[in-house]
A and B are shown apart, each in its own frame.
Chain A
């Protein structure tokens, strides 16, 4: 996928949310206000296009916290480049979802 690929506003919001540290499907939904029927397929498409990648949490961590393991998402290098391009296209994106780079994940 070329770095200059143009994203829809919804996809750009999801990408911005993931970049901002909202790395689970439900947290992206909460942050963006998008319904589940939109967020999960969009995240699948972004993953298919190589803009984000997903990974299942380790079972031991989930067991320690007595909850099911979660699938979390992270921007790829191409995703970051695309997000930069999308920010130029949608200048309000950064204000809608303030970026608080969460590098811990």
Chain B
């Protein structure tokens, strides 16, 4: 069997055409391949001699086959370009809403991953925070310094009180904790009066009456972090006897996650009866105002009271309502500030739409306002979660720093977010809500007295033109929308987008 040279060339040409056909989109590949193969037969018939090989003829056939690659590339360029559909779908209202929803999902997903955010989101408020007061010596500034002695606390508690109905005391110390011979790293322990959690109104998890059977041992309430880290979330932790320093203590339960908002970062609370004495040193006093008192005491006020020696001294009282604000309160405060600052960064009106002989359908107007409301509603959760993510990204930061960071991030995010919402709304077609495109400069500022100068944008669906003045004048102060009637539809690429009955 001998291989004819013409058959070899034909096979090579077919292979070239096959390769070229692979560049054609699959939907049209069969048709192109069929036509090329058919044409190749005729090209070969027309160009090559009936017998033998003619190199110039084979080159001509080869050029035809190479042209198929240009066909395919040209076709791909035509299909890939599609400028008009892209322009008409770009910046649609649905695309904008989906983008914002995507941002919410991402920021919420990050919030779920960050332990600091989880802690603050599950923060449990104190039962009667407005009536809870942290009392401190007025001579000291800041609330991180312990200023009240145990004797002072006990003297207040013994006296008859007109203002307060309960007091609790704690002082912060460092002690090592040992469990069954295993000594853990020294932790910060708040040696507190037994009523501390009752005054704060905080529930204690896993607390059982059985722990009282341990007799004279003091109860240790573990923080949620210590319980998770050192005891592996043991649900039967209550009642276990631990060694705190040199004294045995019994675990009385676990404090709720993120509940401690008083001065001092604490790993556990040792509840020691007042008559046992809980050591020397300065501490903090939390008092509960009598609910019968009609007077509103505010967030921060001063009182004069006798100290343990009977000498009158000044004390500052700070409401715990301020210390126990949740992230939502801070966020709402930042939103309020942003709303106040917004008019300074952008104009609030959405432009003039009066240049229309007929009124826009009420459903279109409703849809436009609904879209604005939807954007604001989607923006707020984004700002909330992003500010939380940024503020609590680094968990070792203390709570007040993180709260300050949350406000510092939430305010600009909300301000510039609202600014974007308004600016975006102004640059959308009031009929189809698509972003306006193709900005063009019109006029010259030097001829501002003769004609307006500024930027003209167009709706790709042909609903109208937006004129934005470059220099505000008494006759052209704000942007104007010029409706185009359906007779203009012929100029626009996709007539399906232009609604002939939007008026």
Genuine A/B complex: yes
Using a CB-CB cutoff of 8 Å, which residues 21-37 of chain A contact chain B? 24-26, 29-30, 35-37
Query: Knowing A25-B39, A26-B46, A71-B38 touch, does A35 contact B75 (C-beta < 8 A)?
Result: no
Q: Given A26-B43, A30-B46, answer yes or no on A37-B74 (Cβ-Cβ < 8 Å).
A: yes
Chain A CB within 8 A of B68 CB? yes
Residue A41 at the chain B interface, CB threshold 8 Å: yes
Nearest to B70 among chain A residues (CB) is A37
B37, B67, B71, B78: the one contacting A68 at CB < 8 Å is B37
Is A37 a contact of B46 with CB atoms below 8 Å?
A: no
Cα–Cα distance between A36 and B75 once the two chains are bound (Å): 13
The prevalent SS among residues of B at the interface is helix
Proximity bits, B51-74, A CB within 8 Å = 1, else 0 = 000000000000110111111001
Q: In this assembly, does A53 line the interface, its C-beta being within 8 Å of a C-beta of chain B?
A: no
Residue A80 CB within 8 A of the other chain: no
The residue in chain B whose Cβ has the minimal distance to the Cβ of A25 is B39
B498 to chain A, nearest CB (A): 18
Please encode chain B, from 25 to 36, with 1 for each CB lying within 8 Å of some chain A CB and 0 for all others.
000000000110
A67 interface residue (CB < 8 Å to B):
yes
Rounded to whole angstroms, the CA-CA distance of A69 and B31 in the bound complex is: 13
A44 lies within 8 A of chain B by Cβ: yes
User: Min CB distance, A60 to chain B, in Å?
Assistant: 15
Q: What's the nearest-Cβ distance from chain A to residue B117, in Å?
A: 55
Q: Chain A's nearest CB lies how many Å from the CB of B501? A: 24
Chief secondary structure at chain A's binding surface: helix
Report whether A26 and B42 are in contact in the complex, using a CB–CB cutoff of 8 Å: yes
**Contact call A37/B41, Cβ cutoff below 8 A:** no
* Measured CA separation A70–B46 after assembly (Å): 14
Interface string of B67-105 (1 = CB under 8 A from A): 111110011001000000000000000000000000000
Given contacts A35-B63, A69-B38, A71-B35, contact A41 B78 (CB under 8 A): yes
Complex Cα–Cα for A63 and B37 (A): 15
User: Which of the residues B38, B68, B69, B74 comes within 8 Å of A70, measured between beta carbons?
Assistant: B38
Asked whether, in the complex, the Cβ of A36 is within 8 Å of the Cβ of B74, the reply is: no
- Given A26-B43, A70-B42, A35:B67 Cβ within 8 A: yes
Complex CA gap A45/B74 in Å reads: 11
Chain A residue contacts of B38, Cβ below 8 A: 68-71
Partner of A36, one of B34, B42, B46, B68: B68
Identity of the chain A residue whose Cβ is nearest the Cβ of B32 in the assembled complex: A40
A80 to B472, CA, bound (A): 54
Q: A26-B46, A41-B71, A41-B78 are in contact. Are A36 and B37 (CB under 8 A)?
A: no
* Contact B39–A24 (Cβ < 8 Å): yes
Chain A residues with CB under 8 Å of B37's CB are 68
B67 touches A44 (CB 8 A): no
Asked whether A10 is an interface residue with its Cβ less than 8 Å from the other chain, the reply is: no
> Does A36 contact B78, Cβ atoms closer than 8 Å?
no
Distance between A50 CB and nearest chain B CB, rounded to angstroms: 16
Q: A30 — nearest CB in chain B belongs to which residue?
A: B46
Verify if A58 is at the interface (C-beta below 8 Å from B): no
Given known A26-B46, A71-B35, contact A38–B41 (CB-CB < 8 A)? no
Q: Which residues of B contact A29 (CB under 8 A)?
A: 64
- In the complex formed, the residue of A with least CB distance to B64 is A36
- In Å, the complex CA distance between A41 and B79 comes to 12
Minimum distance in angstroms from A53 CB to a CB of chain B: 14
* Minimum CB distance partner of B41 in chain A: A68
In the bound assembly, the distance between CA atoms of A16 and B70 in angstroms comes to: 23
Q: Which residues of B contact A37 (CB under 8 A)?
A: 66-71, 74
Cα(A40)–Cα(B39), bound, Å: 11
Query: In the complex, what distance in Å separates the CA atom of A15 from the CA atom of B75?
Result: 19
Chain B residues with CB under 8 Å of A26's CB are 39, 42-43, 46, 64
A42 CB → nearest B CB, Å = 9
User: Which of A25, A37, A45 gathers most chain B CB within 10 Å?
Assistant: A37
Name the distance in Å between A46's Cβ and chain B's nearest Cβ: 13
Closest to A2 in B: B490
Contact A36 B35 (CB under 8 A): no
5 closest residue pairs by CB, A with B: A37-B70, A36-B67, A37-B67, A41-B74, A68-B38
12 more A-B residue pairs beyond the given contacts A29-B64, A36-B70, A71-B38, with a C-beta to C-beta distance below 8 A: A26-B46, A26-B64, A35-B67, A35-B70, A36-B67, A36-B68, A36-B71, A38-B70, A40-B68, A41-B75, A41-B78, A45-B78
Q: List 8 A-B contacts (CB under 8 A).
A: A26-B43, A26-B64, A36-B70, A37-B67, A37-B68, A37-B69, A40-B68, A71-B34
Q: Please give the residue numbers on chain A whose beta carbons come within 8 Å of chain B beta carbons, in ascending order.
A: 24-26, 29-30, 35-38, 40-41, 44-45, 67-71
